[in-house]
């Protein structure tokens, strides 16, 4: 090949490589359409931007989505979980059984109402709480069970509620990952005790920040309202009184505009998420192999796709894996460290090495890109990068 032609070929190859590096693929990205953006602008011009008619419309749409149940929106799922515990009567001296594998907020809200988290290990494949171990963890102080539908895969709702009914316990479902997931054809949130969803930007639908609490009991809904807004009670003639030190978690009409647009597209989003997860199962083949989550049926809404690294066969750890993926333009998250290994819980005497599956996940999990706007070729790009990085880890170990 002539020198000039060879130089042009090399230059083109370098340009392509640089372009690929510049096209950074995050592990999550919201998809907000122009109609929602226009609706937000309309609300901003209206002069009414806090809790108002759009919030009422969004709560009504969510209620319809969940089969007519009562829905209360919140500024965060964390706030909704804390209020759910308080409304269920959980407080000082009580115990709440929950999973050792979740975001810290799941356990933190239990501490914040004065109760004690009792951790239970998870299944290694589904990442969901081991319900057989829940049974053995119940004591006279147990007031509630708080499972997490991890990554959008529902826990066994039949077994969960059979235990709760037989033992007289409340259930607060942390469904932050599970918007659009189903259990035996019924949407998570359409049945059950109290169910809480998240609308954070990396979730299956977003309101920028926000969450929702779903329940049936009208009297408890009144308690939720008072916890949600300063403990205020208003009489029919408009007089105001405060009977409890409530918080402030009320939703905004700006967020509700985005939520309405997102809810209308949720099924579309989740169909695409399932298709992307299927592609990962087909194409994510590495040497040494990553440990993939259990493959589930159409009831799984695939909030995240989080395989486990083969750490025992690698010459470097997770942080270096993430760095090398980032250098290839691939964003990687971590969902999550095991809760009992966090400083807050170590200092409270939660024994390390007590929940082996949660610890294995916490040390080796990585979250790969998965969001509806991804192309099939993006999955190929992630899989190629993972193969390359793990091949480097294996090569270095052999050397």
Q: What angle do CA 196, 75, 148 make, to 5 degrees?
A: 25
Q: Out of 72, 165, 203, 234, which one is annotated catalytic? A: 203
Closest CA to 251 of 110, 86, 104, 75: 75
CA distance 167 to 300: 28
Residues 6+ apart with CB under 8 A from 206: 30, 32, 199, 200, 258, 259, 262
C-alpha–C-alpha distance, residues 285 and 283, integer Å: 6
Task: Write out the two tokens for 346.
Answer: 């170590």
Residues 6+ apart with CB under 8 A from 221: 70, 72, 215
* Contact call for residues 254 and 206 (beta carbons, < 8 A): no
Query: 178 and 128 in contact (C-beta within 8 Å)?
Result: no
Residue 51 φ then ψ, to 5°: -60, 120
Angle, CA 215 vertex, CA 212 and CA 218 arms, to 5°:
120
d(CA 258, CA 37) in angstroms, rounded, equals: 7
Residue 234 is a catalytic residue:
no
Dihedral sign, CA of 19, 12, 285, 279?
positive
Rounded-to-integer distance, Cα 190 and Cα 154, Å: 13
Q: List active site positions.
A: 203
């Amino acid at each position: 090949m002539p020198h000039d032609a060879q130089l042009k070929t090399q230059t083109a190859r370098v340009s392509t490589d640089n372009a690929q590096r510049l096209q950074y693929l995050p592990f999550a990205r919201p998809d907000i359409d122009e109609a929602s953006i226009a609706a937000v602008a309309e609300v901003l011009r209206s002069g009414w931007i806090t809790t108002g008619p759009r919030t009422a419309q969004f709560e009504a749409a969510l209620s319809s989505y969940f089969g007519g149940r009562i829905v209360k929106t919140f500024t965060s799922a964390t706030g909704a979980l804390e209020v759910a515990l308080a409304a269920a009567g959980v407080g000082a001296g009580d115990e709440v059984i929950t999973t050792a594998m979740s975001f810290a907020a799941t356990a933190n809200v239990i501490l914040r109402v004065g109760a004690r988290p009792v951790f239970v290990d998870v299944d290694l494949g589904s990442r969901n709480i081991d319900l057989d171990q829940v049974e053995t963890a119940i004591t006279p102080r147990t007031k509630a069970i708080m499972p997490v539908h991890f990554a959008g895969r529902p826990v066994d709702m039949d077994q969960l509620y059979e235990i709760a009914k037989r033992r007289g316990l409340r259930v607060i479902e942390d469904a932050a990952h599970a918007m659009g997931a189903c259990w035996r054809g019924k949407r998570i949130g359409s049945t059950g005790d109290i169910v809480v969803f998240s609308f954070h930007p990396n979730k299956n639908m977003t309101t920028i920040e926000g969450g929702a609490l779903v329940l049936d009991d009208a009297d408890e809904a009144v308690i939720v309202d008072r916890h949600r807004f300063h403990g205020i009670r208003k009489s029919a003639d408009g007089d105001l009184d405060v009977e409890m030190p409530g918080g402030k978690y009320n939703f905004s009409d700006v967020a509700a505009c985005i939520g309405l647009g997102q809810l209308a597209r949720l099924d579309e989003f989740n169909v695409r998420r399932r298709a992307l997860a299927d592609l990962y199962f087909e194409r994510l083949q590495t040497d040494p192999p990553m440990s993939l989550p259990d493959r589930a049926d159409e009831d799984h809404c695939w909030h995240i796709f989080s395989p486990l690294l083969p750490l025992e066969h690698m010459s470097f750890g997770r942080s270096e894996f993430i760095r090398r993926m980032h250098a290839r333009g691939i964003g990687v998250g971590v969902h999550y460290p095991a809760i009992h290994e966090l400083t807050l819980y170590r200092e409270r005497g939660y024994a390390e090495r007590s929940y082996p599956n949660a610890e294995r996940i916490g040390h080796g999990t990585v979250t790969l890109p998965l969001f509806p706007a991804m192309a099939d070729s993006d999955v190929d790009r992630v899989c190629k990068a993972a193969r390359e990085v793990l091949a480097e880890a294996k090569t270095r170990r052999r050397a």
